[in-house]
């Protein structure tokens, strides 16, 4: 079981069953990673997303992956940052838990996450990485043997630095 962070484009990963999309409530596409995923997946993804009736913040929905190299896309809607006292942490944690629950339900053992909420939604990367990495380790502790790999695919060096550091800190505490 591997928990890691790499730098890269989440649409280009060829060794995972599912990638997570940081979507918005409509699930009808947007900018950032959402735009990149729809572009790479092709129009079939939007067509399937239209049947889902959107997604609430902190929840997740699963679709096929169409022209992407993976099998599934798990769409989740992160919180917009409004200063940190508006349930942002609880909602971000809920995104990770909802995605991992859907993965378990679908027998998915390898999954890539983007840095949910830290682009257009403005969540500070350091805070988001703390919440995200803690949520994943907690979930894995409660669900041993369900995953082979959980990985963040970070688009830039700064984001990678925070996720790597946070993973390192938790690994050290556990060893």
By CB under 6 A, tell whether 114 contacts ligand ADP: yes
- CB 141 to ligand ADP: min, Å: 26
DSSP-derived 3-state class of residue 42: coil
- Which tokens sit at 33? 């990673």
Task: Determine the interface stretch with ligand ADP among 84-92, 119-127, 142-150, 161-169 (rule: CB under 6 A).
Answer: 119-127
By CB under 6 A, residue 59 contacts ligand ADP: no
Contact (Cβ atoms closer than 8 angstroms) between residue 10 and residue 33: yes
Q: Binding of ligand ADP at residue 79 (CB under 6 A)?
A: no
Q: At what angle do helices 88-105 and 125-142 cross, to 10 degrees?
A: 40
From the CB of 52, what's the least distance to ligand ADP, in Å?
Answer: 18
Task: Determine if 57 is a binding residue for ligand ADP (CB under 6 A).
Answer: no
Q: How far apart are CA 133 and CA 159, in angstroms?
A: 13
Count of residues near ligand ADP by CB under 6 A: 21
Helix H segments across the chain?
A: 32-41, 43-50, 88-105, 125-142, 157-174
78 is a contact residue toward ligand ADP (CB under 6 A): yes
| Continuous segment of H or E residues that includes residue 30 | none
Least distance CB 97 / ligand ADP (angstroms): 16
Strands (E), 8-121: 18-23, 60-64, 72-77, 110-113
Judged by CB under 6 A, which stretch of 8-16, 47-55, 102-110, 131-139 contacts ligand ADP?
8-16
Strand extents, DSSP E, 78-172: 110-113, 149-154
Please state the closest distance from residue 125 (CB atom) to ligand ADP, in A. 7
- Chain residues binding ligand ADP by CB under 6 A are 9-11, 22, 32-34, 36, 78, 114-121, 153, 155-156, 159
């Amino acid at each position: 079981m591997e928990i890691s962070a790499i730098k890269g484009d989440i649409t280009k990963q060829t060794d995972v069953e599912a990638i997570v999309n940081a979507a918005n409530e409509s699930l009808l596409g947007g900018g950032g990673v959402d735009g990149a995923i729809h572009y790479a997946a092709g129009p079939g993804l939007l067509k399937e997303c239209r049947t889902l009736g959107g997604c609430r913040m902190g929840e997740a929905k699963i679709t096929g992956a169409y022209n992407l190299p993976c099998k599934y896309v798990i769409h989740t809607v992160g919180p917009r940052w409004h200063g940190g006292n508006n349930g942002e942490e609880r909602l971000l944690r809920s995104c990770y838990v909802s995605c991992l629950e859907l993965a378990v339900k679908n027998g998915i053992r390898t999954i890539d996450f983007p840095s949910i909420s830290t682009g257009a939604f403005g969540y500070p990367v350091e805070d988001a990485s703390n919440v995200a990495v803690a949520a994943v380790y907690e979930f894995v502790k409660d669900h041993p043997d369900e995953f082979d790999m959980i990985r963040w695919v970070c688009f830039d060096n700064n984001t990678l630095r925070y996720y790597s550091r946070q993973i390192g800190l938790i690994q050290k505490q556990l060893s």
